[in-house]
Amino acid sequence: MNIKRNIIFALESRKKDGVLIVENVPIRMRVNFASQRIEFTTGYRIDVAKWDADKQRVKNGCTNKLKQSASEINAALLGYYTEIQEIFKRFEVAEVMPSPADVKSAFNARHRSDEVQVERTSDKPDPSNDFYKAFDEFVRVCGRQNDWTHATYEKFAAVKNHLRAFRADLSFSFFNEAGLTEYVRYLREVREMRNSTIGKQLSFLKWFLRWSFGQGMHGNNAYDTFRPKLKDTQKKIIFLTWEELTRLREFEIPPAKQSLDRVRDVFLF
């Protein structure tokens, strides 16, 4: 099943006293599918002059009134985009055409923010909310301290998406040795990542857990001694046969490409 959809980021069109507002305008996400439309708030604002309507992103080097950088905001928008795509893929696998309410409910369950929430049915604190809020704070603080590039923000947006897809209700206490092992197994068997990629994902997660531990957000330091065996797959070495070597040695190189003669010498000797 293939559900055709279109995901658009645009500034909210709002007027005050008949004049279009151009400063500190909310960024909205619009999802169109099956002749239906869903509007989401993103929790971010930007001036119209700092918004690239064609790229649907904040212009490089710009910040908003909260001093949130273009890289930070754009990485968050990419995270929203990825989450919506993953939600639709789940419905496609299940051969189900969702309603707008289904999509919005699934999105709210995966990404709870100050402006996009579902009403809680219990007054009991949600540990997963603390975990993901801490992750957002980690990205915000470390991103500014280390002057992250847009590519780095994108990497951590992907890390968060992998964690949410793994478990929406994660908590710091989950990541003991057993929990970390389960996450590694998920990355290998479900996400089908190579060991080298798993190692990178694990290092990003450990960075976050180490930072949050240092901030006093939790007391679980199992990450510090967790050393899974992740062997890089050895690339297969291909040798030429004697016949192939002979053909290469005796091949007549065109006069216009005599530089290949030196390349051949390096290869053979």
Q: What are the boundaries of each domain within the chain?
A: 1-119, 126-236, 239-269
pLDDT digit string (tens) for 68-91? 888 889 988 988 888 888 888 888
34 vs 117, more confident:
34
Q: Are the CB atoms for 142 and 71 separated by under 8 Å?
A: no
Query: Residue 267's pLDDT is what?
Result: 66
Q: How far apart are CA 199 and CA 184, in angstroms?
A: 9
Average pLDDT of the chain? Answer: 84
Name which residue leads in pLDDT, 253 or 242.
253
At 233 the pLDDT is 52
Residue 15 bridge partners (DSSP): 20
For the chain, the maximum distance between any two Cα atoms, rounded to a whole number of angstroms, is 84
| Domain covering 126-236 in this structure, CATH number | 1.10.150.130
Residues 6+ apart with CB under 8 A from 1: 91, 92, 93, 95, 96, 97
pTM: 0.48
**For 173-196, what is each residue's pLDDT tens digit?**
999 999 999 999 989 888 888 888
Assess contact for 84 and 8: CB atoms under 8 A.
Answer: no
Helix (H) or strand (E) holding 145: helix 127-145
